[in-house]
Structure 1
Amino acid sequence: MQPSAEELPAEDLAAEDVSARELPGVVLVVVTWNSADVLPGLLASLAFGMVGLRWRLVVADNDSADGTADLVRTEAPDALSVQTGRNAGYAAAINAALEAVGPLDKGTDAVLVCNPDIRMEPGCGAALVRGLERSGTGITAPVLFDGDGRMIRTLRREPNPLRLLGEMVLGAHRSGRFAALGEQVADPHAYSGPTRADWVAGSLMALSRECVEACGPWDESFFLYSEETEYALRARSRGFATRLAPDAVAVHLEGEAAVSPRLWTLLTVNRVRLYRRTHGAVAVAAFWSALVLREASRALLGRASSRAAVRALVSPARMRAKPGP
């Protein structure tokens, strides 16, 4: 049986205090919106998932109406609870959390950004932070599995028209075997090492303090989807690589973007909006056309979410409107 702190000699207490200070310091940001059903599972996983770190939990809530805020107060009373006051989106909630924390001091090595439907495996957080020690790395992501134990391919290449057409002809998994033809990195071997990617799915990410300071706030014009893509590409432009941390493992229960016409439309339209940021009119027209072709081909196979996406893509009013809830 371990002695209590009161029973330890003064020199042992001092040694424990020094040891604690030497652990990497982390701010863990969790963004919630009506997450009362899934948040307890995440909170339960943190005791082992964040072992080996000094960490502070910050929950940024987007005006939940299901008791999420009350749940945080009762199950995570030490957490800093931040209320955005509206359904502000993922990027805006992250910004609100970091603003509430204030400037990151030198004792904070990283910021972890997390969905509430993540379940961390033991040591996941520390492995993500260790991955940031690789030279030039600003963002790390774990190996993710879905609720049925299947690995989720989260590594991504920068989107372009040829990759969209490759996905349309070959499918996302087959096209992903070829760097020129697929956005999704499909090679299983890529998920066994510190593979560099243009961006990664943003359900769980670690950001180095230096990357956070260099990149500044997340882009709130993306209410949902493409915000992690924009952030990773911006980080790359500032010299920070995005890599897989293969020793970090987590489960993502995942949302309904692939089956919800509203969410899939938002995801699809945001892809065009992001591409428009850094490309000229001709390139944007090619990207838009390839995206329309891809979604139309899926719509012909009976996919309702793709039919909704095509309607939005060919609507000038929808393409001009700022996507939101």
Structure 2
Amino acid sequence: MSSCAGPAAGEPERVVVVVVLYNSAEHLADFLSSLPAGLAGVDHELVAVDNDSSDGSPDLVEELAPDATVIRTGRNGGYAAGINAGVAAAGPHTAVLLLNSDVRLRPGCVPELLRRMRATHAGIVVPRLTDASGRLIDSMRREPSVAHSFWDAVLSAKVAGRVLELGETVTNPAAYGVEQWVDWAEGSTQLVSRECWDVCGPWDESFFLYCEETDFDLRARDAGLGTLYVPTAEVVHLEGGSSVSVDWLWRLQQVNRVRLFRRRNGRAATLAFWLVTLLREASRAALGRSKNRAAARGLLEPRLLTRSEGAR
């Protein structure tokens, strides 16, 4: 990895915490209450960006965290658009902490992430994630590839990720006890250096949801500012249910995976990736699974492989 300089000599760390809200009221009290211990004295600014919630989320932030900057976008432009709006509104900072509202920072999490960022010159650092029951969440990822998708389809993502690193998701529990560089990581909690943000630019808003963190992390890696997994920093991710259709979300995820792959690879490889993805979804759909049926329909839209869409 290339050097990613930290703050200028004598410049103190200052983190802008960006959280994107969309009908997040049920999570906000516990989210906000976890920040002081998680930040453990790190100078910070909280920016909450509301994507047109209907449950009073921005009002609740203003009530519970009166020092926060609250941005009402007036529309739901997606996760990346919310992140970009938050960073654009922030004051001077040395790093950006991107959070979902359903995460809970464990004590000392942010100082540890900052420490490892500066020691290793990482552009992005991510913590160990557990769910509400304390179970490990498989958050580390390998770059999407035809081979990874094939083995995920044949063996299942859980098995393929554990055996000989065949799958896209790292699913070997032992790996999560070791600090290591990863191609990309689940996007609920990411600390991004100011230098990495300046080099890579904003998140790609054409990915309304899903693959926006994949795109950003891979661009950072391409620039020599890779993603470091830090097991000594911990965060709880509730991974709560959504009022949005599970079928629609799964369809969007699979379509965006193909879109992202197409941007980074040639036509022949993209066709192979699309075919493997379609066969996986179609085989699951044949078992009566509605979300896979929705994804297969989305993958068969002609414009997915034919429309012009320039890479960043």
* Normalised TM-score (structure 1): 0.87
Match of 1:127 among 100, 112, 133: 112
Q: Quick one: distance in 2 between partners of 1:259 and 1:173?
A: 24
Q: Quick one: distance in 2 between partners of 1:259 and 1:80?
A: 31
Aligned to 1:13: none
Question: What SS does the aligned partner of 1:149 have?
Answer: coil
Matches within 5 A, 1:156-175: 156-175=141-160
Question: What SS does the aligned partner of 1:56 have?
Answer: strand
State the shift of 1:193 in Å: 2.1
Q: Quick one: distance in 1 between partners of 2:306 and 2:134?
A: 40
Match of 2:86 among 97, 110, 119: 97
Aligned to 2:218: 233
Q: Report whether the alignment pairs 1:84 with 2:70.
A: no
Could you tell me whether the CA contact under 8 Å between 1:111 and 1:207 is conserved in 2?
yes
Question: What SS does the aligned partner of 1:134 have?
Answer: helix
Question: What SS does the aligned partner of 1:88 have?
Answer: coil
Q: Quick one: distance in 2 between partners of 1:28 and 1:124?
A: 13
Aligned to 2:6: none
Q: Quick one: distance in 2 between partners of 1:302 and 1:251?
A: 33
Q: Quick one: distance in 2 between partners of 1:259 and 1:82?
A: 26
Match of 1:281 among 267, 270, 286: 267
Could you tell me whether the CA contact under 8 Å between 1:259 and 1:305 is conserved in 2?
no
Could you tell me whether the CA contact under 8 Å between 1:168 and 1:297 is conserved in 2?
no
Could you tell me whether the CA contact under 8 Å between 2:45 and 2:90 is conserved in 1?
no
Aligned to 1:40: 29
Q: Which runs of 5+ in 1 are unaligned?
A: 1-20
- How many residues in Structure 1 have an aligned counterpart in Structure 2? 298
Q: Quick one: distance in 2 between partners of 1:48 and 1:88?
A: 31
Q: Quick one: distance in 1 between partners of 2:272 and 2:248?
A: 24
Aligned to 1:67: 56
Q: Quick one: distance in 1 between partners of 2:230 and 2:41?
A: 16
Match of 2:46 among 43, 48, 57: 57
Q: Quick one: distance in 1 between partners of 2:127 and 2:245?
A: 25
Which piece of structure 1 moves more, 175-184 or 28-37?
Answer: 175-184
State the shift of 1:23 in Å: 5.8
Provide closer, same or farther for how the CA distance between residues 83 and 244 of structure 1 changes in structure 2, counting only shifts above 3 A. same
Q: Over the residues paired in the alignment, what is the CA RMSD in angstroms?
A: 2.0
Provide closer, same or farther for how the CA distance between residues 208 and 313 of structure 1 changes in structure 2, counting only shifts above 3 A. same
Aligned to 1:303: 289
Corresponding letter in the other structure for 2:287: L
State the shift of 1:206 in Å: 0.3
Question: What SS does the aligned partner of 1:266 have?
Answer: helix
Q: Quick one: distance in 2 between partners of 1:263 and 1:246?
A: 29
Q: Quick one: distance in 1 between partners of 2:82 and 2:149?
A: 30
Question: What SS does the aligned partner of 2:97 have?
Answer: strand
Match of 1:109 among 76, 80, 94: 94
State the shift of 1:301 in Å: 3.1
Matches within 5 A, 1:208-223: 208-223=193-208
Q: Quick one: distance in 2 between partners of 1:54 and 1:296?
A: 50
Which whole-Å deviations, capped at 9, do the CAs of 1:210-250 have from their partners, x for residues lacking one?
Answer: 11111111111110000000000100111111011111111
Question: What SS does the aligned partner of 1:277 have?
Answer: helix
Aligned to 2:5: none
Q: Quick one: distance in 1 between partners of 2:193 and 2:231?
A: 17
Could you tell me whether the CA contact under 8 Å between 2:141 and 2:170 is conserved in 1?
yes
Q: Which runs of 5+ in 2 are unaligned?
A: 1-9
Q: Quick one: distance in 1 between partners of 2:171 and 2:84?
A: 32
Aligned to 1:18: none
Provide closer, same or farther for how the CA distance between residues 78 and 87 of structure 1 changes in structure 2, counting only shifts above 3 A. same
Match of 2:299 among 313, 316, 319: 313
Q: Quick one: distance in 2 between partners of 1:180 and 1:122?
A: 32
Q: Quick one: distance in 1 between partners of 2:168 and 2:72?
A: 35
Question: What SS does the aligned partner of 1:140 have?
Answer: strand
Corresponding letter in the other structure for 1:288: W
Q: Quick one: distance in 1 between partners of 2:44 and 2:61?
A: 16
State the shift of 1:172 in Å: 1.1
Aligned to 1:268: 254
Q: Quick one: distance in 2 between partners of 1:25 and 1:318?
A: 41
Q: Quick one: distance in 2 between partners of 1:87 and 1:182?
A: 33
Q: Quick one: distance in 1 between partners of 2:300 and 2:96?
A: 39
Could you tell me whether the CA contact under 8 Å between 1:155 and 1:185 is conserved in 2?
yes
Q: Quick one: distance in 1 between partners of 2:218 and 2:164?
A: 17
